[in-house]
Amino acid sequence: MKTAVGSLLLLHLLISGVVSVEWKHSAVLDNNFLVLWTPGERDVTFEIQVKTLGYVGLGFTKDDGHAGADMVIGWVDNNGQVHLQVSIFLQSIE
């Protein structure tokens, strides 16, 4: 299985139409997960670089819990096809 790094970056470029972005902020969450972002007037543009053989997820919530979180999950299947799922987490896992 291919790593998701290049494919998710390509997907980001295709979805946003952004050819080149000067990132204002970055965070290394561990040695395999890098988040880059630049706030705009009404939005925030993100790029995530992840070394994985599975999936990658990124979520946002205004509280500490999962309920109501906006989430994006991406992966590359065995054929190299990129998949991206955007969802809202309706309730917390207990």
Domain contains 26: no
Domain contains 1: no
Number of domains in the chain: 1
What pLDDT shows up at residue 4?
46
Domain contains 12: no
Domain that includes residue 65, residue range: 52-93
Position with higher pLDDT, 60 vs 2: 60
Q: For the chain, give me the number of helices (H) and strands (E)?
A: 1, 6
pTM of the model: 0.61
Domain contains 43: no
Q: In the chain, pLDDT over 90 holds for what percent of residues?
A: 17
Domain contains 69: yes
Domain contains 33: no
What pLDDT shows up at residue 17?
52
Helix (H) or strand (E) holding 89: strand 82-89
Contacts of 94 (CB under 8 A, 6+ apart): none
